[in-house]
Structure 1
Amino acid sequence: MSWTSTMSSGYSSLEDDSEEYFFTARTSLFKKPSVKPTNLKDVDKERELRTHLTHEEIRQKVEQYNAASRDHFKMTLNSNGLYTGFIKVQVDLRRPITVKEDGACGVKGQEAFYLPHGSINTLHISSNNTVRQVIQALLNKFTVADNPAKFTLFKRFSREDQVYTCKLSEVEHPLFLRLVAGPSTDKLSFVLKEQQTGEVMWDAFSIPELHNFLRILDKEEQDQVCVITRHYNSYREKLEEAMRAAGSPC
Protein backbone atom coordinates (compact mmCIF):
# COMPACT_ATOMS: atom_id res chain seq x y z
CA MET A 1 0.00 0.00 0.00
CA SER A 2 1.28 3.44 -0.87
CA TRP A 3 0.49 6.66 0.95
CA THR A 4 -0.78 8.88 -1.80
CA SER A 5 -2.59 11.48 0.28
CA THR A 6 -1.09 14.97 0.57
CA MET A 7 0.73 15.69 3.80
CA SER A 8 -0.87 18.62 5.59
CA SER A 9 0.82 21.57 7.24
CA GLY A 10 0.63 22.12 10.99
CA TYR A 11 2.51 22.69 14.21
CA SER A 12 3.83 20.47 16.95
CA SER A 13 5.70 21.75 19.96
CA LEU A 14 8.92 20.53 21.47
CA GLU A 15 10.13 21.64 24.87
CA ASP A 16 13.85 21.88 25.60
CA ASP A 17 15.21 23.61 28.71
CA SER A 18 11.79 25.22 29.35
CA GLU A 19 11.83 26.83 25.89
CA GLU A 20 9.02 26.05 23.46
CA TYR A 21 9.85 25.44 19.83
CA PHE A 22 7.51 24.80 16.93
CA PHE A 23 7.88 22.52 13.96
CA THR A 24 6.09 23.30 10.71
CA ALA A 25 5.74 20.67 7.99
CA ARG A 26 5.18 21.36 4.32
CA THR A 27 5.79 19.02 1.44
CA SER A 28 7.10 19.29 -2.07
CA LEU A 29 9.20 17.30 -4.52
CA PHE A 30 12.61 17.89 -5.98
CA LYS A 31 14.91 15.96 -8.28
CA LYS A 32 17.31 13.63 -6.51
CA PRO A 33 20.94 14.19 -7.45
CA SER A 34 23.38 11.33 -7.70
CA VAL A 35 25.25 11.01 -4.44
CA LYS A 36 28.51 9.52 -3.30
CA PRO A 37 28.50 8.15 0.28
CA THR A 38 31.30 9.04 2.62
CA ASN A 39 32.38 8.20 6.16
CA LEU A 40 33.40 11.74 7.15
CA LYS A 41 33.36 12.22 10.94
CA ASP A 42 32.96 15.92 11.71
CA VAL A 43 30.85 15.92 14.86
CA ASP A 44 33.73 17.14 17.02
CA LYS A 45 34.59 19.84 14.47
CA GLU A 46 30.99 21.05 14.42
CA ARG A 47 30.79 21.12 18.21
CA GLU A 48 34.10 22.98 18.54
CA LEU A 49 33.12 25.58 15.95
CA ARG A 50 29.68 26.09 17.47
CA THR A 51 31.00 26.59 21.01
CA HIS A 52 33.68 29.04 19.85
CA LEU A 53 31.35 31.34 17.95
CA THR A 54 30.62 34.51 19.87
CA HIS A 55 27.21 36.18 19.97
CA GLU A 56 28.49 38.84 17.57
CA GLU A 57 29.79 36.22 15.13
CA ILE A 58 26.45 34.44 15.21
CA ARG A 59 24.65 37.74 14.60
CA GLN A 60 26.83 38.41 11.56
CA LYS A 61 26.22 34.91 10.18
CA VAL A 62 22.47 35.25 10.67
CA GLU A 63 22.51 38.58 8.81
CA GLN A 64 24.58 37.08 5.99
CA TYR A 65 22.25 34.08 5.82
CA ASN A 66 19.12 36.25 5.61
CA ALA A 67 20.71 38.48 2.97
CA ALA A 68 21.53 35.43 0.82
CA SER A 69 18.13 33.79 1.31
CA ARG A 70 15.81 34.03 -1.69
CA ASP A 71 12.63 32.98 0.14
CA HIS A 72 10.80 33.83 3.36
CA PHE A 73 12.61 31.15 5.39
CA LYS A 74 14.73 33.57 7.41
CA MET A 75 16.58 33.06 10.67
CA THR A 76 15.83 35.03 13.84
CA LEU A 77 18.40 35.70 16.56
CA ASN A 78 17.08 36.01 20.11
CA SER A 79 18.60 38.10 22.88
CA ASN A 80 19.68 34.96 24.77
CA GLY A 81 21.92 33.86 21.88
CA LEU A 82 19.58 31.18 20.56
CA TYR A 83 18.35 31.52 17.00
CA THR A 84 15.51 29.91 15.10
CA GLY A 85 15.09 29.09 11.44
CA PHE A 86 14.03 26.53 8.88
CA ILE A 87 15.56 23.34 7.53
CA LYS A 88 14.23 21.15 4.74
CA VAL A 89 14.35 17.39 5.23
CA GLN A 90 13.91 15.02 2.30
CA VAL A 91 12.20 11.74 3.22
CA ASP A 92 13.90 8.80 1.51
CA LEU A 93 12.51 5.66 3.15
CA ARG A 94 12.61 2.27 1.43
CA ARG A 95 10.48 0.34 3.90
CA PRO A 96 6.88 1.09 4.96
CA ILE A 97 6.17 3.06 8.12
CA THR A 98 3.47 2.32 10.66
CA VAL A 99 1.03 5.18 11.22
CA LYS A 100 -1.36 5.52 14.16
CA GLU A 101 -4.93 6.23 13.14
CA ASP A 102 -8.33 6.67 14.81
CA GLY A 103 -10.90 4.23 13.51
CA ALA A 104 -14.65 4.07 13.88
CA CYS A 105 -16.12 4.78 17.32
CA GLY A 106 -12.79 6.14 18.50
CA VAL A 107 -11.02 2.78 18.21
CA LYS A 108 -7.34 3.38 17.55
CA GLY A 109 -5.36 1.23 15.15
CA GLN A 110 -2.23 1.14 13.02
CA GLU A 111 -1.67 0.96 9.30
CA ALA A 112 1.48 0.58 7.21
CA PHE A 113 2.24 2.99 4.35
CA TYR A 114 4.98 3.66 1.86
CA LEU A 115 5.87 7.37 2.03
CA PRO A 116 6.44 9.00 -1.38
CA HIS A 117 10.15 9.07 -2.19
CA GLY A 118 11.58 12.57 -2.37
CA SER A 119 8.91 14.37 -0.35
CA ILE A 120 10.31 17.35 1.55
CA ASN A 121 9.28 18.57 4.99
CA THR A 122 10.17 22.10 6.07
CA LEU A 123 10.77 22.31 9.83
CA HIS A 124 10.98 25.45 11.95
CA ILE A 125 13.48 24.68 14.71
CA SER A 126 15.86 26.22 17.22
CA SER A 127 19.65 26.17 17.28
CA ASN A 128 19.37 24.03 20.43
CA ASN A 129 17.44 21.26 18.68
CA THR A 130 19.45 18.12 17.96
CA VAL A 131 19.23 15.54 15.19
CA ARG A 132 17.40 13.21 17.57
CA GLN A 133 14.76 15.86 18.27
CA VAL A 134 14.34 16.65 14.57
CA ILE A 135 13.73 12.96 13.79
CA GLN A 136 11.23 12.70 16.66
CA ALA A 137 9.43 15.85 15.48
CA LEU A 138 9.06 14.42 11.97
CA LEU A 139 7.65 11.15 13.31
CA ASN A 140 5.27 12.99 15.66
CA LYS A 141 4.04 15.22 12.87
CA PHE A 142 2.86 12.27 10.81
CA THR A 143 1.85 10.14 13.84
CA VAL A 144 4.42 7.48 13.01
CA ALA A 145 4.38 4.66 15.54
CA ASP A 146 7.77 3.21 14.61
CA ASN A 147 10.71 3.40 17.00
CA PRO A 148 12.76 6.57 16.27
CA ALA A 149 15.91 4.42 16.56
CA LYS A 150 14.98 2.90 13.18
CA PHE A 151 15.70 6.22 11.45
CA THR A 152 18.72 8.41 10.93
CA LEU A 153 19.42 11.84 9.46
CA PHE A 154 22.03 12.39 6.74
CA LYS A 155 23.50 15.57 5.37
CA ARG A 156 24.12 15.83 1.65
CA PHE A 157 26.76 18.30 0.48
CA SER A 158 28.93 19.15 -2.49
CA ARG A 159 32.70 19.18 -2.53
CA GLU A 160 34.94 19.50 -5.61
CA ASP A 161 32.08 18.75 -8.01
CA GLN A 162 31.19 15.60 -6.06
CA VAL A 163 28.03 15.04 -4.01
CA TYR A 164 28.48 13.25 -0.69
CA THR A 165 26.18 11.97 2.02
CA CYS A 166 27.25 11.77 5.64
CA LYS A 167 25.36 10.29 8.59
CA LEU A 168 24.80 12.82 11.36
CA SER A 169 25.25 12.09 15.03
CA GLU A 170 22.08 12.31 17.13
CA VAL A 171 23.58 15.17 19.16
CA GLU A 172 24.50 17.41 16.22
CA HIS A 173 22.55 20.62 15.61
CA PRO A 174 21.06 20.79 12.10
CA LEU A 175 20.23 24.51 12.25
CA PHE A 176 23.86 25.38 12.97
CA LEU A 177 24.94 23.33 9.95
CA ARG A 178 22.33 25.18 7.90
CA LEU A 179 23.60 28.55 9.17
CA VAL A 180 27.24 27.79 8.33
CA ALA A 181 26.43 26.38 4.88
CA GLY A 182 24.03 29.16 3.95
CA PRO A 183 20.50 28.87 2.55
CA SER A 184 21.40 27.01 -0.68
CA THR A 185 20.23 23.39 -0.63
CA ASP A 186 22.77 22.66 -3.37
CA LYS A 187 25.52 23.21 -0.80
CA LEU A 188 23.77 21.37 2.03
CA SER A 189 20.55 19.40 2.41
CA PHE A 190 19.16 16.90 4.91
CA VAL A 191 17.79 13.42 4.18
CA LEU A 192 15.84 11.10 6.50
CA LYS A 193 16.63 7.41 5.95
CA GLU A 194 16.37 4.10 7.72
CA GLN A 195 19.27 2.96 9.84
CA GLN A 196 21.71 1.12 7.60
CA THR A 197 22.38 -2.04 9.59
CA GLY A 198 23.02 -4.36 6.64
CA GLU A 199 20.17 -6.64 7.69
CA VAL A 200 16.60 -5.94 8.74
CA MET A 201 16.25 -6.16 12.53
CA TRP A 202 12.91 -7.94 12.62
CA ASP A 203 12.97 -8.14 16.42
CA ALA A 204 12.59 -4.35 16.50
CA PHE A 205 9.13 -4.58 14.86
CA SER A 206 5.91 -5.30 16.72
CA ILE A 207 3.52 -8.11 15.74
CA PRO A 208 0.99 -5.68 14.15
CA GLU A 209 3.81 -4.12 12.11
CA LEU A 210 4.92 -7.55 10.86
CA HIS A 211 1.32 -8.43 9.93
CA ASN A 212 1.06 -5.16 7.99
CA PHE A 213 4.26 -5.99 6.11
CA LEU A 214 2.86 -9.41 5.20
CA ARG A 215 -0.34 -7.81 3.89
CA ILE A 216 1.70 -5.38 1.80
CA LEU A 217 3.81 -8.21 0.38
CA ASP A 218 0.68 -10.27 -0.40
CA LYS A 219 -0.86 -7.32 -2.27
CA GLU A 220 2.35 -6.69 -4.21
CA GLU A 221 2.51 -10.39 -5.11
CA GLN A 222 -1.11 -10.38 -6.32
CA ASP A 223 -0.49 -7.24 -8.37
CA GLN A 224 2.56 -8.83 -9.99
CA VAL A 225 0.60 -12.01 -10.79
CA CYS A 226 -2.11 -9.89 -12.44
CA VAL A 227 0.49 -8.06 -14.55
CA ILE A 228 2.09 -11.32 -15.72
CA THR A 229 -1.32 -12.86 -16.45
CA ARG A 230 -2.39 -9.86 -18.53
CA HIS A 231 0.83 -9.97 -20.52
CA TYR A 232 0.44 -13.72 -21.10
CA ASN A 233 -3.20 -13.40 -22.21
CA SER A 234 -2.33 -10.52 -24.54
CA TYR A 235 0.53 -12.49 -26.09
CA ARG A 236 -1.68 -15.59 -26.46
CA GLU A 237 -4.41 -13.59 -28.22
CA LYS A 238 -1.92 -12.10 -30.67
CA LEU A 239 -0.36 -15.51 -31.31
CA GLU A 240 -3.73 -17.15 -31.98
CA GLU A 241 -4.73 -14.26 -34.26
CA ALA A 242 -1.49 -14.66 -36.23
CA MET A 243 -2.04 -18.42 -36.54
CA ARG A 244 -5.59 -17.90 -37.81
CA ALA A 245 -4.40 -15.37 -40.36
CA ALA A 246 -1.85 -17.90 -41.59
CA GLY A 247 -4.55 -20.56 -41.96
CA SER A 248 -3.12 -22.81 -39.28
CA PRO A 249 -5.44 -24.49 -36.76
CA CYS A 250 -5.16 -23.15 -33.23
Structure 2
Amino acid sequence: MISVRHPLIESRPPATFCDVFLYKCKSCNLVIHKNCKDLIRFNCQNPQQNESQQIMKSPPEEKFDTIKRTFSNSQLASRLERYNKTVRNSFVMQLRKDYSFTGYIRVELELTRPITVLDGNEPPRVKYLPKNTVKAIYLTSQTSASQVVKALLQKFKITNDARKFMLCERIQKGRKEESHVTIRPMTEFERPLFLTLLWGSAHTGHGFRLKDHQEAEPDWFDFEEHELKQFLRLYNDEKEKALNEIQEGFEVRRYQIVKILKERKEPLVSPILH
Protein backbone atom coordinates (compact mmCIF):
# COMPACT_ATOMS: atom_id res chain seq x y z
CA MET A 1 0.00 0.00 0.00
CA ILE A 2 1.11 3.56 -0.67
CA SER A 3 1.69 5.92 2.23
CA VAL A 4 -0.66 8.90 1.94
CA ARG A 5 -0.40 11.97 4.16
CA HIS A 6 -3.72 12.79 5.84
CA PRO A 7 -5.14 16.35 5.80
CA LEU A 8 -4.20 16.81 9.46
CA ILE A 9 -5.06 19.66 11.79
CA GLU A 10 -3.50 20.30 15.18
CA SER A 11 -5.70 19.78 18.22
CA ARG A 12 -5.38 18.94 21.92
CA PRO A 13 -7.48 15.89 22.76
CA PRO A 14 -7.28 14.61 26.35
CA ALA A 15 -3.78 13.24 27.03
CA THR A 16 -3.42 9.56 27.84
CA PHE A 17 0.24 8.56 27.95
CA CYS A 18 1.75 11.95 27.20
CA ASP A 19 0.92 15.64 27.08
CA VAL A 20 2.08 16.73 23.64
CA PHE A 21 0.30 17.91 20.55
CA LEU A 22 -1.74 15.26 18.81
CA TYR A 23 -3.17 15.42 15.31
CA LYS A 24 -6.70 14.83 14.08
CA CYS A 25 -7.65 13.93 10.49
CA LYS A 26 -10.17 16.30 8.88
CA SER A 27 -11.79 13.47 6.92
CA CYS A 28 -12.17 10.52 9.32
CA ASN A 29 -11.42 12.15 12.71
CA LEU A 30 -8.49 9.79 13.32
CA VAL A 31 -6.44 11.04 16.32
CA ILE A 32 -2.76 10.17 16.21
CA HIS A 33 0.49 11.00 17.99
CA LYS A 34 2.58 13.73 16.36
CA ASN A 35 5.55 11.41 15.83
CA CYS A 36 3.36 8.73 14.21
CA LYS A 37 1.57 10.80 11.56
CA ASP A 38 3.97 9.80 8.76
CA LEU A 39 3.28 6.10 9.40
CA ILE A 40 -0.37 6.27 8.28
CA ARG A 41 -0.67 3.94 5.30
CA PHE A 42 -4.24 4.35 4.05
CA ASN A 43 -6.15 7.12 2.31
CA CYS A 44 -9.47 8.00 3.93
CA GLN A 45 -10.15 11.19 2.00
CA ASN A 46 -13.72 11.41 0.67
CA PRO A 47 -13.98 13.16 -2.73
CA GLN A 48 -17.72 13.68 -2.11
CA GLN A 49 -17.10 15.39 1.24
CA ASN A 50 -17.63 19.00 0.06
CA GLU A 51 -20.04 18.08 -2.68
CA SER A 52 -23.34 19.94 -3.02
CA GLN A 53 -25.78 17.45 -4.51
CA GLN A 54 -29.14 18.02 -6.20
CA ILE A 55 -31.53 15.38 -7.53
CA MET A 56 -33.04 16.20 -10.93
CA LYS A 57 -36.02 14.08 -12.01
CA SER A 58 -36.64 15.73 -15.38
CA PRO A 59 -35.99 13.75 -18.61
CA PRO A 60 -32.64 14.12 -20.38
CA GLU A 61 -32.02 16.94 -22.83
CA GLU A 62 -32.88 16.05 -26.42
CA LYS A 63 -29.21 15.89 -27.43
CA PHE A 64 -28.57 13.33 -24.64
CA ASP A 65 -31.65 11.18 -25.29
CA THR A 66 -30.20 7.69 -25.86
CA ILE A 67 -33.57 6.18 -26.78
CA LYS A 68 -34.50 8.53 -29.65
CA ARG A 69 -31.06 9.70 -30.80
CA THR A 70 -29.51 7.92 -33.80
CA PHE A 71 -26.47 8.34 -36.07
CA SER A 72 -25.55 7.20 -39.53
CA ASN A 73 -22.68 4.69 -39.76
CA SER A 74 -20.21 7.38 -40.84
CA GLN A 75 -21.32 9.77 -38.08
CA LEU A 76 -20.95 7.03 -35.50
CA ALA A 77 -17.44 6.10 -36.65
CA SER A 78 -16.41 9.76 -36.60
CA ARG A 79 -17.78 10.34 -33.11
CA LEU A 80 -16.05 7.24 -31.75
CA GLU A 81 -12.74 8.38 -33.21
CA ARG A 82 -13.09 11.84 -31.63
CA TYR A 83 -14.09 10.40 -28.27
CA ASN A 84 -11.17 7.92 -28.15
CA LYS A 85 -8.71 10.78 -28.64
CA THR A 86 -9.81 12.19 -25.26
CA VAL A 87 -9.31 8.92 -23.35
CA ARG A 88 -6.27 8.90 -21.04
CA ASN A 89 -6.47 5.23 -20.06
CA SER A 90 -7.30 1.99 -21.89
CA PHE A 91 -11.07 2.54 -21.74
CA VAL A 92 -11.51 3.25 -25.43
CA MET A 93 -14.62 2.31 -27.37
CA GLN A 94 -14.48 -0.31 -30.12
CA LEU A 95 -16.71 -0.24 -33.22
CA ARG A 96 -18.19 -3.57 -34.30
CA LYS A 97 -18.97 -4.76 -37.80
CA ASP A 98 -22.69 -4.29 -37.20
CA TYR A 99 -21.98 -0.67 -36.09
CA SER A 100 -22.79 -1.29 -32.49
CA PHE A 101 -19.87 -0.54 -30.17
CA THR A 102 -18.37 -1.66 -26.85
CA GLY A 103 -16.53 0.05 -24.05
CA TYR A 104 -16.28 0.71 -20.32
CA ILE A 105 -18.04 3.01 -17.90
CA ARG A 106 -17.04 3.74 -14.30
CA VAL A 107 -19.84 3.70 -11.73
CA GLU A 108 -19.58 5.19 -8.24
CA LEU A 109 -21.60 3.19 -5.70
CA GLU A 110 -23.24 5.54 -3.22
CA LEU A 111 -25.43 3.24 -1.13
CA THR A 112 -26.54 4.53 2.25
CA ARG A 113 -28.70 1.55 3.20
CA PRO A 114 -27.29 -1.82 4.28
CA ILE A 115 -27.07 -4.54 1.64
CA THR A 116 -27.16 -8.35 1.77
CA VAL A 117 -24.04 -10.00 0.32
CA LEU A 118 -23.17 -13.62 -0.43
CA ASP A 119 -19.72 -14.73 0.73
CA GLY A 120 -18.88 -18.16 -0.64
CA ASN A 121 -20.64 -20.93 1.27
CA GLU A 122 -21.18 -18.69 4.29
CA PRO A 123 -24.69 -17.47 5.20
CA PRO A 124 -25.65 -14.12 3.59
CA ARG A 125 -24.18 -11.13 5.45
CA VAL A 126 -25.80 -7.72 5.89
CA LYS A 127 -23.32 -4.85 5.74
CA TYR A 128 -22.69 -1.34 4.49
CA LEU A 129 -20.73 -0.94 1.26
CA PRO A 130 -17.55 1.14 1.82
CA LYS A 131 -17.73 4.77 0.75
CA ASN A 132 -16.11 5.80 -2.55
CA THR A 133 -16.47 2.32 -4.07
CA VAL A 134 -15.99 2.59 -7.85
CA LYS A 135 -16.44 -0.19 -10.40
CA ALA A 136 -15.51 -0.22 -14.08
CA ILE A 137 -17.97 -2.29 -16.10
CA TYR A 138 -17.70 -3.52 -19.71
CA LEU A 139 -20.85 -3.16 -21.82
CA THR A 140 -22.19 -2.57 -25.32
CA SER A 141 -24.00 0.37 -26.84
CA GLN A 142 -27.26 -1.57 -26.46
CA THR A 143 -26.87 -2.32 -22.74
CA SER A 144 -29.65 -0.64 -20.77
CA ALA A 145 -29.45 1.12 -17.40
CA SER A 146 -31.44 -1.68 -15.73
CA GLN A 147 -28.98 -4.26 -17.10
CA VAL A 148 -26.07 -2.25 -15.68
CA VAL A 149 -27.71 -2.25 -12.24
CA LYS A 150 -28.14 -6.03 -12.36
CA ALA A 151 -24.55 -6.54 -13.53
CA LEU A 152 -23.19 -4.41 -10.66
CA LEU A 153 -25.22 -6.32 -8.09
CA GLN A 154 -23.91 -9.59 -9.55
CA LYS A 155 -20.28 -8.41 -9.45
CA PHE A 156 -20.55 -7.44 -5.78
CA LYS A 157 -22.69 -10.54 -4.98
CA ILE A 158 -25.49 -8.34 -3.67
CA THR A 159 -28.71 -10.33 -3.34
CA ASN A 160 -31.15 -7.43 -2.82
CA ASP A 161 -33.83 -6.86 -5.45
CA ALA A 162 -32.51 -4.73 -8.34
CA ARG A 163 -35.62 -2.54 -8.08
CA LYS A 164 -34.23 -1.12 -4.83
CA PHE A 165 -31.43 0.61 -6.76
CA MET A 166 -31.20 3.17 -9.55
CA LEU A 167 -28.47 4.13 -11.99
CA CYS A 168 -28.01 7.90 -12.20
CA GLU A 169 -26.25 10.31 -14.51
CA ARG A 170 -23.85 12.46 -12.51
CA ILE A 171 -23.13 15.99 -13.76
CA GLN A 172 -20.41 17.91 -11.93
CA LYS A 173 -19.85 21.65 -12.14
CA GLY A 174 -17.27 23.76 -10.37
CA ARG A 175 -13.95 22.91 -8.78
CA LYS A 176 -13.34 19.43 -7.44
CA GLU A 177 -12.92 20.71 -3.85
CA GLU A 178 -16.26 22.56 -3.78
CA SER A 179 -18.21 21.07 -6.65
CA HIS A 180 -21.93 21.18 -7.33
CA VAL A 181 -23.29 17.87 -8.55
CA THR A 182 -26.62 17.19 -10.23
CA ILE A 183 -27.91 13.63 -10.05
CA ARG A 184 -30.43 12.51 -12.68
CA PRO A 185 -32.04 9.07 -12.21
CA MET A 186 -31.96 7.23 -15.55
CA THR A 187 -34.94 5.33 -16.92
CA GLU A 188 -34.47 1.58 -17.24
CA PHE A 189 -34.16 1.64 -21.07
CA GLU A 190 -31.57 4.42 -21.38
CA ARG A 191 -28.17 3.29 -22.69
CA PRO A 192 -25.22 4.38 -20.51
CA LEU A 193 -22.41 3.70 -23.01
CA PHE A 194 -24.26 5.54 -25.76
CA LEU A 195 -24.80 8.44 -23.32
CA THR A 196 -21.05 8.48 -22.66
CA LEU A 197 -20.46 8.89 -26.40
CA LEU A 198 -23.01 11.72 -26.55
CA TRP A 199 -21.08 13.61 -23.87
CA GLY A 200 -18.36 13.91 -26.50
CA SER A 201 -15.33 13.51 -24.24
CA ALA A 202 -14.05 11.27 -21.48
CA HIS A 203 -13.50 14.32 -19.23
CA THR A 204 -16.66 16.42 -19.31
CA GLY A 205 -17.61 16.30 -15.63
CA HIS A 206 -20.21 13.62 -16.37
CA GLY A 207 -20.33 10.16 -14.84
CA PHE A 208 -22.55 7.49 -13.31
CA ARG A 209 -23.68 6.66 -9.80
CA LEU A 210 -25.59 3.75 -8.34
CA LYS A 211 -27.91 4.96 -5.57
CA ASP A 212 -30.65 3.58 -3.37
CA HIS A 213 -34.13 4.01 -4.77
CA GLN A 214 -35.50 6.69 -2.47
CA GLU A 215 -39.15 6.75 -3.50
CA ALA A 216 -40.32 4.80 -0.45
CA GLU A 217 -39.09 3.21 2.75
CA PRO A 218 -37.96 -0.42 2.52
CA ASP A 219 -40.70 -3.01 2.82
CA TRP A 220 -39.38 -4.79 5.92
CA PHE A 221 -41.65 -7.78 5.28
CA ASP A 222 -39.43 -8.58 2.28
CA PHE A 223 -36.50 -9.45 4.59
CA GLU A 224 -35.73 -12.71 6.37
CA GLU A 225 -35.56 -12.81 10.16
CA HIS A 226 -31.77 -13.16 10.22
CA GLU A 227 -31.46 -10.10 7.96
CA LEU A 228 -33.68 -8.02 10.27
CA LYS A 229 -31.56 -9.06 13.27
CA GLN A 230 -28.39 -7.99 11.45
CA PHE A 231 -30.04 -4.67 10.57
CA LEU A 232 -30.68 -4.08 14.28
CA ARG A 233 -27.05 -4.87 15.10
CA LEU A 234 -25.85 -2.46 12.42
CA TYR A 235 -28.12 0.32 13.63
CA ASN A 236 -27.04 -0.26 17.23
CA ASP A 237 -23.40 -0.05 16.12
CA GLU A 238 -24.15 3.25 14.36
CA LYS A 239 -25.84 4.55 17.51
CA GLU A 240 -22.86 3.54 19.66
CA LYS A 241 -20.46 5.19 17.21
CA ALA A 242 -22.45 8.45 17.26
CA LEU A 243 -22.54 8.51 21.06
CA ASN A 244 -18.79 7.87 21.25
CA GLU A 245 -18.12 10.76 18.86
CA ILE A 246 -20.20 13.08 21.05
CA GLN A 247 -18.36 11.90 24.18
CA GLU A 248 -14.96 12.37 22.52
CA GLY A 249 -15.92 15.88 21.43
CA PHE A 250 -16.98 16.69 24.98
CA GLU A 251 -13.69 15.38 26.38
CA VAL A 252 -11.68 17.53 23.94
CA ARG A 253 -13.59 20.69 24.90
CA ARG A 254 -13.35 19.87 28.61
CA TYR A 255 -9.58 19.37 28.35
CA GLN A 256 -9.19 22.74 26.60
CA ILE A 257 -11.31 24.57 29.19
CA VAL A 258 -9.49 22.98 32.13
CA LYS A 259 -6.13 23.91 30.62
CA ILE A 260 -7.19 27.54 30.11
CA LEU A 261 -8.48 27.76 33.70
CA LYS A 262 -5.25 26.29 35.04
CA GLU A 263 -3.21 28.84 33.10
CA ARG A 264 -5.33 31.63 34.61
CA LYS A 265 -4.98 30.02 38.07
CA GLU A 266 -8.71 30.22 38.62
CA PRO A 267 -10.53 27.69 40.83
CA LEU A 268 -11.98 24.73 39.00
CA VAL A 269 -15.65 23.85 39.22
CA SER A 270 -16.53 20.24 38.48
CA PRO A 271 -19.08 20.10 35.65
CA ILE A 272 -22.41 18.49 36.39
CA LEU A 273 -23.22 15.84 33.81
CA HIS A 274 -26.85 15.06 33.05
Compute the TM-score of the two structures, normalised by the length of structure 1.
Answer: 0.72
> Which of 180, 187, 209 is the matching residue for 2:198?
180
CA contact (8 A) 1:29 1:118 kept: no
Q: TM-score, normalised on structure 2?
A: 0.66
Matched, 1:206 2:235: no
Deviations 1:155-191 (A, max 9, x none): 0125799642211011111000001103435431101
Q: Deviations over 1:204-240 (max 9, x none)?
A: 333332221111122233444555667778969x98x
**Contact (CA 8 Å) 2:86, 2:203: kept in 1 or not?**
no
State the identity %. 26
RMSD: 3.3
Q: Which has the higher contact order (CA 8 A, sep 6+)?
A: 1
Which amino acid in 2 is paired with 1:147? Answer: D
Instruction: Identify which of 48, 51, 55 aligns with 2:68.
Output: 48
Instruction: After superposing the two structures, state which structure 1 stretch, 31-40 or 210-219, moved more.
Output: 31-40
Whether 2:149 is the aligned partner of 1:131: answer no
Name which of 202, 207, 212 aligns with 1:194: 212
CA distance change for structure 1 residues 128 and 248 in 2, over 3 Å: closer, same or farther?
A: closer
Alpha-carbon distance change, 124 to 183 in structure 1, aligned in 2, over 3 angstroms? farther
Match for residue 90 of structure 2? Answer: 72
Determine if the alignment matches structure 1 residue 31 to structure 2 residue 47.
yes
How far residue 42 of structure 1 moved from its aligned partner, in angstroms, is 2.9
Task: Count the aligned residue pairs.
Answer: 213
Where 1:35 maps in the other structure, the secondary structure is strand
User: 104, 109, 124: which one pairs with 2:123?
Assistant: 109
Gaps of 5+ in 1: 1-27
Structure-2 change in CA distance of 1:190 and 1:233 (3 Å): closer
Indicate which of 85, 102, 105 corresponds to 1:84: 102
Distance 1:230 1:87 in 2: 42
Q: Is the 8 A contact 2:165 2:211 kept in 1?
A: yes
Give unmatched runs, 5+ long, in structure 2.
1-43
Alignment check: 8 A CA contact 1:43 1:169 kept: no
